[in-house]
Structure 1
Amino acid sequence: MSESALVALREVSFSYEDGPPVLSGLDFEVRRGRTLALLGRNGSGKTTLMRLLSGGLRPDTGELTLRGRPVAYDRRGLTRLRTTVQLVVQDPDDQLFAASVAQDVSFGPLNLGLPDAEVRVRVDEALAALDIGHLADRPTHLLSYGQRKRTAIAGAVAMRPEVLVLDEPTAGLDPDGRERLLATLGGLCEGGTTVVMATHDVDLALLWADDAALLTPDGVRTGPAATMLARTGLLHRAGLRLPWGVAVARLLRARGLPTAATAPRTPEELAALFVPGTEPEAPSRGAGEAYGRE
Structure 2
Amino acid sequence: MSGSALVALREASFGYEDGPPVFSGLDFEVREGRALALLGRNGSGKTTLMRLLSGGLRANGGELTVGGRVVRYDRKGLTALRTTVQLVVQDPDDQLFAASVGQDVSFGPLNLGLPDTEVRARVAESLAALDITALADRPTHLLSYGQRKRTAIAGAVAMRPRVLILDEPTAGLDPDGQERLLTTLDGLRAGGTTVVMATHDVDLALRWADDAALLTPSGVRTGAVSGLLARTDLLRAAGLRLPWGVAAGHFLRVRGLLAESDAGPRTPEELAAMAAPWEL
Specify the TM-score bucket, using the shorter chain as the normaliser.
Answer: over 0.9
Match of 1:75 in 2: 75
Structure-2 separation of matches of 1:2 and 1:65 = 18
Match of 1:266 in 2: 267
Counterpart residue type for residue 50 of structure 1: M
For structure 1, the residue ranges without an aligned partner over 5 or more in a row are 279-294
The 3-state SS of whatever aligns with 1:241 is: coil
Q: Does 1:93 align with 2:93?
A: yes
**Contact 1:8-1:66 within 8 A present in 2 as well:** yes
Structure-2 separation of matches of 1:267 and 1:76 = 47
Match of 1:164 in 2: 164
Structure-1 separation of matches of 2:102 and 2:63 = 36
The 3-state SS of whatever aligns with 1:273 is: helix
Structure 1 residue 225 displacement after superposition: 0.6
Structure-2 separation of matches of 1:143 and 1:22 = 36
Query: Structure 1 residues 141, 160: CA separation in 2 closer, same or farther (over 3 Å shift)?
Result: same
Where in structure 2 are the equivalents of 1:100-249 lying within 5 Å? 100-249=100-249
Structure-1 separation of matches of 2:158 and 2:273 = 40
Structure 1 residue 253 displacement after superposition: 2.9
Deviations 1:243-294 (A, max 9, x none): 001112222333x14125112111121122221399xxxxxxxxxxxxxxxx
Tell me which stretches of 4 or more aligned residues in structure 1 moved more than 2 Å: 251-254
The 3-state SS of whatever aligns with 2:59 is: coil
Deviations 1:48-87 (A, max 9, x none): 0000000000000111001111100000000010000000
Structure-2 separation of matches of 1:25 and 1:2 = 23
Query: Structure 1 residues 230, 202: CA separation in 2 closer, same or farther (over 3 Å shift)?
Result: same
Structure 1 residue 118 displacement after superposition: 0.6
Q: TM-score normalized by structure 2? A: 0.96
Q: Does 1:46 align with 2:37?
A: no
The 3-state SS of whatever aligns with 1:213 is: strand
Structure 1 residue 3 displacement after superposition: 7.8
Q: TM-score normalized by structure 1? A: 0.92
Deviations 1:103-135 (A, max 9, x none): 000000000000111100000000000000000
Counterpart residue type for residue 124 of structure 2: D
Query: Structure 1 residues 184, 2: CA separation in 2 closer, same or farther (over 3 Å shift)?
Result: closer
Residues matched between the structures, number = 277
Structure-1 separation of matches of 2:273 and 2:3 = 39
Deviations 1:197-227 (A, max 9, x none): 0000000000000111111111111111111
Structure 1 residue 2 displacement after superposition: 8.5
Q: Percent identity?
A: 80
**Contact 2:3-2:33 within 8 A present in 1 as well:** no
For structure 2, the residue ranges without an aligned partner over 5 or more in a row are none
Match of 1:283 in 2: none
Match of 1:292 in 2: none
Counterpart residue type for residue 272 of structure 2: A
Query: Structure 1 residues 3, 226: CA separation in 2 closer, same or farther (over 3 Å shift)?
Result: closer
